Amino acid sequence: MVRWGPGQIDNQLDTSKISAFVSPGGPHVDALRWATIRSHELPPGSMKRSEATTRKGILRPIRGRAVFLEILLIILISSVPGHTASYPGFELLQESQCSKADAYLVSTLPTQWQKYALFVKSCELMGKAGSPSGFQIVSVWVDEYFQEKYPRQHPRWEPFPKALILDSHLKVVGTLPVVYPRDDITFPDVFYGRWITNVPTEIRIDVENPAEGGDYYYAALVWDESSHSYRSHGTEAIDGTRPR
């Protein structure tokens, strides 16, 4: 199956034309994600310019100007229930859990992160009782970086560092296979759970992909107490949805 992944589409998402139709954090926030990926920005072969894809994977022929396509997609997708999976005992990481990382935290990150220092955010993994677990995920907010650096351009995608998992001592204890919350045209969902004491012992990454190959996921990151780190049994993307 052909899948167009991060690094193969260069256009930056443009939400300026449709922001008036979707309230921030609203129940149909996914419509904002998908409608901004315009069909004429996808690579050759991924879909025709006159087509758009819904989260159900159904191709619907839509003709007309790009603005009309974006508005119609919002109306269409807002009537479709969200596809995001849920897993018993797991929490879905929300962007509302994330805030700008302080200068000291950023200074402890590897060298390749320093270029993006002003656009790094930290996301606390909240414990079962709603208290911080001591673990956090740090990632580059690529949209904010692009908007600041290239406000009137559609720059090429850059080799952003993958999101990291840090413990309470700011030690790197794992690496996600993606950039959160957007990795080029894809939108990873991060689930964490299977708690032991105050440690989420499993982290799952499911990826929304609007291109021809469709959604995919990665093998879970599992906590290894002996090495005090998260390990995975594989780093390759797996087509389809994660088995329940």
Proportion of the chain above pLDDT 90, given as a percent: 56
Q: Give pTM, 2 decimals.
A: 0.69
143-157, pLDDT tens digit by residue?
A: 999 999 999 888 899
117: exposed, middle or buried (C-beta count within 10 Å: 0-12, 13-18, 19+)? middle
168: exposed, middle or buried (C-beta count within 10 Å: 0-12, 13-18, 19+)? exposed
Please give the Cα distance from 136 to 134 (Å, whole number). 7
Distances, alpha carbon 174 to alpha carbons 59, 203, 223, 232, 234, in Å: 37, 10, 9, 9, 13
43-84, pLDDT tens digit by residue?
A: 434 433 333 333 334 334 434 455 455 444 444 433 333 445
Tokens coding 140: 């580059």
Please give the Cα distance from 182 to 188 (Å, whole number). 7
